[in-house]
Structure 1
């Protein structure tokens, strides 16, 4: 941060790809990678009125520092699961 000339201080840094992904997709990736036969009952509980439907990381600060995500969600899940042993 100092090398790039940013003022000393505190920064909120959002880490991610900058793209949103549905939780359902994340769950299905985890289910596939763990070879789970679990049945996920999507929609079993009604959504609340104030439910956040879409969110993504603002990666503009990290981009200024020359950082970008190295892994897709699929590769990230595989890497995380391979570290469990």
Structure 2
């Protein structure tokens, strides 16, 4: 199940980690919320952890904070790399 979520809803270099795909339709259909619920249930029940997230994204999910010093280097989407702080 976790591997299917990774393949369908996340993008990026597998070695450096992945971030969620930009998809308004998946957002509107609450697919990302459902993915989060599935991953949380997997963790609570002792299942596999989502070990494919980038470090900055994982820290953002856990702490709810992001550095104000620009876009992290791990971001692979070109349109996001062009953003300035």
Tell whether the structures are fold-level matches, with TM greater than 0.5.
no
Higher RCO (CA < 8 A, seq sep 6+): 1
More strand by share: 2
Shorter-chain TM band: under 0.3
Which protein shows a greater Rg? 1
More helix by share: 2
